[in-house]
Structure 1
Amino acid sequence: MLELLRSFLPLLLTLALVLATLLGAHVTLRRRWAERPEAQFQFQLIMLALTLAGLLALVVALPVSDTVQGQLLSLIGILLSAAIALSSATFIGNILAGIMLKAVGSARPGDFITVASLTGRISEMGLLHTEIQTEFRDLVTVPNIYMVTQPVKVVRASGSIITAEVSLGFDVPHSRAREVLRSAAEASGLKDCFVHVRELGDFSVTYRAAGLLEDVQSLLSARSKLQECMLDGLHEAGIEIVSPTFMNTRALEPGARVLPPDQAQQSKPSAEGPQAEDIAFDKAEEAASAEKLRLAIEELDAELTSLEEQGGDAVKDRAKQLAADREQLAARLESALARMQAEEREESGAATR
Structure 2
Amino acid sequence: MEQIVEILKSLLQPGSVLLIVVLLLIFNSWLFNRLQSVKSDTSIAKRTVSFLLVLLGTLSFILVLPIEKSLKGQILSFLGIIISAGIALSSTTVLGNLIAGIMNNSMKRFRNGDLISVDQMQGRVTKKSIFHTEIQLEDSNFITIPNLYIATHPVKLTRKTNTVISTTVSLGYDVPRGKIEAALKKAASATGLNDPYVYITELGDYSVVYKVHGFLEDTNKYFSTISLLNGNVMDLLHEQGIEIVSPTFMNQRRVDETEFIPKKEKSKPENDTGPSPEELIFDEAIESEKIEKKKDFLDELVEKQETLKKELNETKDEVEIKRLKALIDKTGKQMERLEESIQKQADKPEKK
Instruction: Give the total of aligned pairs.
Output: 268
What is aligned with 2:135? 132
State whether residues 206 and 251 of structure 2, in contact with CA within 8 Å, keep that contact through their aligned partners in structure 1. no
How far did 1:321 drift? 2.4
Cα distance in 2 between the residues matched to 1:322 and 1:172 = 64
Cα distance in 2 between the residues matched to 1:176 and 1:206 = 14
Question: Does residue 1:317 correspond to 2:326, yes or no?
Answer: yes
- Name the amino acid aligned to 2:269: P
Query: What 5-or-longer segments of structure 1 have no aligned partner?
Result: 1-72, 348-353
How far did 1:295 drift? 1.0
SS at match of 2:198: strand
The correspondence for 1:235, drawn from 238, 246, 252, is 238
Q: Deviations over 1:54-91 (max 9, x none)?
A: xxxxxxxxxxxxxxxxxxx9xx9898556523344232
SS at match of 1:296: helix
From the superposition, tell whether residues 247 and 170 of structure 1 become closer, same or farther in structure 2 (CA, over 3 Å).
Answer: closer
Cα distance in 1 between the residues matched to 2:87 and 2:162 = 45
State whether residues 132 and 144 of structure 2, in contact with CA within 8 Å, keep that contact through their aligned partners in structure 1. yes
State whether residues 183 and 236 of structure 2, in contact with CA within 8 Å, keep that contact through their aligned partners in structure 1. yes
The correspondence for 2:335, drawn from 317, 322, 326, is 326
What is aligned with 2:285? 284
How far did 1:216 drift? 0.6
Cα distance in 1 between the residues matched to 2:177 and 2:251 = 24
What is aligned with 2:350? 343
Task: Provide TM-score, normalisation by structure 2.
Answer: 0.70
Q: Which runs of 4+ in 1 moved over 6 A?
A: 76-79
What is aligned with 2:192? 189
- Name the amino acid aligned to 1:254: D
Task: Provide TM-score, normalisation by structure 1.
Answer: 0.70
**Residues 43-122 of structure 1 mapped to structure 2, 5 A cutoff:** 83-89=85-91, 90-122=93-125
Question: Does residue 1:256 correspond to 2:231, yes or no?
Answer: no
Bigger mean CA deviation after superposition, 82-91 or 300-309: 82-91
Cα distance in 1 between the residues matched to 2:152 and 2:268 = 50
How far did 1:247 drift? 5.2
How far did 1:233 drift? 0.4
Cα distance in 1 between the residues matched to 2:212 and 2:268 = 26
What is aligned with 2:304? 303
- Name the amino acid aligned to 2:261: L
The structure whose residues are more often helix, as a share, is 1
Query: What 5-or-longer segments of structure 2 have no aligned partner?
Result: 1-74, 316-320
What is aligned with 1:159? 162
Cα distance in 2 between the residues matched to 1:119 and 1:204 = 30
Q: Which has the larger radius of gyration?
A: 1
What is aligned with 2:175? 172
